[in-house]
Amino acid sequence: MAKSTKEGKGNLKTAEKSTPARTMTPFDEMEQMFKHFFPQGWMHPMRWEWPAWAPSAGQFEARSPKVDIIERDKEIVVRAETPGVDKKDLDVTVSENSVTIKGSTREEHREEKGDYYRTEITQGSFTRTVALPCEGNAEKARAEFKDGILELTIPKVTASTRHSVKVE
């Protein structure tokens, strides 16, 4: 609970005594997380009513690429898995201390047989920003895309030096 204040004589403010806020245990935090991601009744889709389930449906479709960050002496390499994303649907921005990768996919399947007509449309988008381990030269960054793997090479502003440490 926040402390409230009362004005005393003059403009001097005095703090009221307040009760300490209850801290959440790790179990309470986990319970809150499950309630957020899996609202009550999500296991029973036949009981869903149209407006009630719509907000939670997008949570299961969220996509985020897996990213590896490799720091070398003179450069930083960022590799992102983006399966199903075309090169033209990728947008990559690099700053001195972060990389943002945006992408989208859209796939449509149609099947027609006599009176039978079926269409499936799948689409989605993602945005992922990762912090770089040190300052990089954004203007000299290079990007390559092959087989669903995006690889960024960002030169460091200052090369790091390695020192050997004797283990005792």
pLDDT in tens, 5-37: 444 455 555 445 544 555 667 777 777 777 777
Q: Report percent pLDDT > 70 for the chain.
A: 69
Strand partners, 112: 117
Q: Is the pLDDT of residue 102 over 50?
A: yes
Q: How confident is the model at residue 63 (pLDDT cuts 50, 70, 90)?
A: low
Could you give the dihedral angle defined by the CA atoms of residues 81, 84, 38 and 55, in that order, rounded to the nearest 10 degrees?
A: 130
Other residues' Cβ atoms within 10 Å of the Cβ of residue 76: 22
Catalogue all structural domains in the chain, each as residue range(s) with its CATH number: 21-61 (no CATH), 67-155 (2.60.40.790)
- Higher pLDDT among residues 1 and 83, named by residue: 83
Residue appearing with tokens 């029973």 = 44
Q: What's the pTM? A: 0.56
Q: With 70 as the cut, is the pLDDT of residue 128 above it?
A: yes
In angstroms, rounded to a whole number, what is the distance separating the alpha carbons of residues 68 and 130? 10
Strands 142-146 and 98-113: unpaired
Provide the CB-side half-sphere exposure for 23 (13 A, CA): 2
Structure tokens at 4: 């409230």
Q: For a pLDDT cut of 90, what percent of the chain falls above it? A: 35
Q: What's the confidence (pLDDT) of residue 60?
A: 37
Give residue 166's pLDDT: 93
